[in-house]
């Protein structure tokens, strides 16, 4: 019997382990995707993203743990009875069928989910993905982005409970990928369909998702909103994988107010940091949190750390500069908008609030 709290649940994995021979591709993975949520699995190649999606779809059987969809346990339920829409990286449209016929194929075993006819359903979906005027074309006469929109329409045709998307944009060029992810997000929001999205591209994950699960080596490192994953990474892995980060191994020298030492240099930590005296920690400072001040100007501010560094190179990005600096044989990356940053000897300053302290192993 489904618990009351599960009524709002789109997909649930509870202690799922998937093995291939001796390899555990997923290790005790538990996560909950809320109904209507755009939920993204992100992580490096081979971390287990596709395996997670395949376990939800029913193509892999967990060695332990359970998968639930809309509160219903899926053990023994074959893929075709799970009411899922699936889109993979390689469009997989039928080349001998027209665009319209490809979308209609999604309805071959299902009645349309609403009152209308199958033809009306196909027409509605082609409008939704903005392909109505290409309904009679063959897939081979479409661009990659257009093919993916048809694949999406086909997956949505039977009105699935959940949409599973495995790197659907990765075969497209960067500009098209950015455009299509906005379209995808809009369609998902309009339909309110629970969506599990797989990508290795952390920037894409941050851009489209309501929440993100960062996976590393078959384990979940963090599940959070994009903002929290970026600003408050829960582990060293997340801090390194999501966005650029400057990381420093340090030792806590004082707990009140909290301070740490990096190679003898004092770094001010935020007052709400909870650390123990002499504890080894990793400090993370985002490139955009660091200011570059000309070496001749004395920086000020009590909650501020100052490092005397040298600028090695500057890249102009259009909306900002990336400044590569050297401090005590370490590379430090700074990202700064506005004026061209100074060269040569500089002070790098950052505030205690912008230092993320990590204590995981």
For binding to ligand ATP (CB under 6 A), which residues are involved? Answer: 20, 23, 25, 43, 45-51, 200
Report the nearest approach of ligand ATP to the CB of residue 124 (Å): 32
Closest to ligand ATP by CB, 51 vs 194, is 51
Closest to ligand ATP by CB, 42 vs 126, is 42
Report the nearest approach of ligand ATP to the CB of residue 201 (Å): 10
Report the nearest approach of ligand ATP to the CB of residue 218 (Å): 7
CB-count exposure of residue 269 (10 Å: 0-12, 13-18, 19+):
buried
Report the nearest approach of ligand ATP to the CB of residue 79 (Å): 16
Closest to ligand ATP by CB, 10 vs 43, is 43
Report the nearest approach of ligand ATP to the CB of residue 72 (Å): 24
DSSP line for 148-171: HHHHHHHHHTT--SEEEEESTTTT
Report the nearest approach of ligand ATP to the CB of residue 185 (Å): 21
- Dihedral sign for Cα 87, 217, 355, 223, please: positive
Residue with token string 């990928």: 177
Closest to ligand ATP by CB, 131 vs 165, is 165
Strand partners, 333: 324
Residue 51: helix, strand or coil by DSSP? helix
Q: Which two tokens stand for residue 328?
A: 């005590």
- Residue 340's Cα: distance from chain center in Å? 32
Closest to ligand ATP by CB, 45 vs 302, is 45
Whole-angstrom distance, CA of residue 141 vs CA of residue 158: 25
* Side-by-side strand order, sheet with 291-294: 291-294, 345-351, 304-316, 321-327, 330-336
Closest to ligand ATP by CB, 200 vs 231, is 200
Which residues, at least 6 apart from 193, have a Cβ–Cβ distance to it below 8 Å?
Answer: 36, 85, 156, 160, 161, 162, 163
- Dihedral sign for Cα 273, 278, 280, 285, please: positive
Closest to ligand ATP by CB, 213 vs 309, is 213
- Residue 199's Cα: distance from chain center in Å? 7
Residue with token string 């997923």: 26
CB-count exposure of residue 65 (10 Å: 0-12, 13-18, 19+):
middle
Whole-angstrom distance, CA of residue 34 vs CA of residue 30: 13
Report the nearest approach of ligand ATP to the CB of residue 41 (Å): 8
Q: Are 31 and 12 in contact (CB under 8 A)?
A: yes
Closest to ligand ATP by CB, 52 vs 306, is 52
Report the nearest approach of ligand ATP to the CB of residue 196 (Å): 13
Report the nearest approach of ligand ATP to the CB of residue 40 (Å): 12
Closest to ligand ATP by CB, 43 vs 106, is 43
Report the nearest approach of ligand ATP to the CB of residue 26 (Å): 8
Closest to ligand ATP by CB, 131 vs 164, is 164
Whole-angstrom distance, CA of residue 9 vs CA of residue 51: 21
């Amino acid at each position: 019997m489904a618990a009351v709290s599960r009524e709002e649940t789109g997909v649930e994995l509870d202690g799922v382990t998937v093995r291939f021979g001796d390899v555990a591709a997923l290790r005790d993975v538990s996560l909950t995707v809320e109904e209507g949520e755009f939920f993204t699995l992100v992580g490096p190649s081979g971390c287990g993203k596709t395996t997670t999606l395949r376990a939800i779809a029913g193509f892999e059987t967990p060695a332990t743990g359970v998968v639930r969809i809309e509160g219903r346990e899926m053990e023994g339920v074959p893929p075709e009875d799970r009411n899922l829409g699936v889109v993979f990286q390689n469009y997989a449209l039928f080349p001998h069928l027209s665009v319209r016929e490809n979308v209609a194929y999604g309805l071959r075993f299902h009645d349309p989910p609403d009152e209308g006819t199958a033809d009306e359903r196909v027409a509605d979906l082609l409008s939704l993905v903005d392909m109505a005027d290409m309904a009679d074309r063959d897939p081979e006469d479409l661009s990659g982005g257009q093919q993916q929109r048809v694949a999406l329409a086909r997956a949505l045709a039977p009105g699935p409970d959940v949409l599973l998307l495995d790197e659907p944009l990765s075969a497209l060029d960067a500009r098209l990928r950015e455009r299509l992810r906005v379209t995808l997000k809009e369609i998902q929001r309009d339909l309110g369909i629970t969506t599990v999205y797989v990508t290795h591209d952390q920037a894409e994950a941050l851009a489209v998702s309501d929440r993100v699960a960062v996976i590393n080596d078959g384990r979940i490192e963090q599940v959070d909103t994009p903002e929290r994953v970026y600003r408050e990474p829960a582990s060293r892995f997340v801090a390194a994988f999501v966005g650029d980060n400057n990381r420093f191994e340090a030792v806590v020298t004082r707990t009140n107010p909290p301070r740490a030492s990096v190679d003898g240099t004092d770094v001010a930590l935020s007052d709400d940091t909870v650390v123990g005296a002499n504890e080894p920690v990793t400090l993370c400072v985002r490139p955009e949190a660091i200011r570059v001040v000309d070496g001749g100007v004395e920086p000020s501010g009590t909650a501020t750390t100052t490092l005397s560094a040298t600028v090695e190179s500057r890249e102009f990005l259009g909306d900002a500069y990336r400044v590569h600096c050297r401090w005590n044989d370490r590379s430090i990356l700074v990202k700064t908008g506005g004026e061209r940053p100074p060269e040569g000897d500089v002070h790098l300053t950052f505030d205690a609030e912008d230092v993320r302290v990590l204590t995981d192993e």
